Amino acid sequence: MENNFKNKIINGDSLEELKKIPSETFDLVFADPPYNLQLKNSLTRPDRSKVSAVNDK
């Protein structure tokens, strides 16, 4: 039976989840990093400038 991963979202640790998928299933995997991990403090950009607001639109 062929697994169908087309148009699927897999939520989990990308390195662990990829181990469960057969080799040569994909040509490319884009693992999106988690966001807003800095919410305990001020949210900053990579250049250390402060983010004052986020527009979700």
* Domain spans, the chain: 1-57
Cα(40)–Cα(57) distance, integer angstroms: 24
User: pTM of the prediction?
Assistant: 0.43
Tokens of 8: 């699927």
pLDDT at 55 over 80: no
pLDDT at 36 over 60: no
Reduced DSSP (H G I as helix, E B as strand, rest coil) percent helix, strand, coil of the chain, to 5: 10, 5, 85
pLDDT band at 47 (very low <50, low <70, confident <90, very high): very high
Amino acid at 10: I
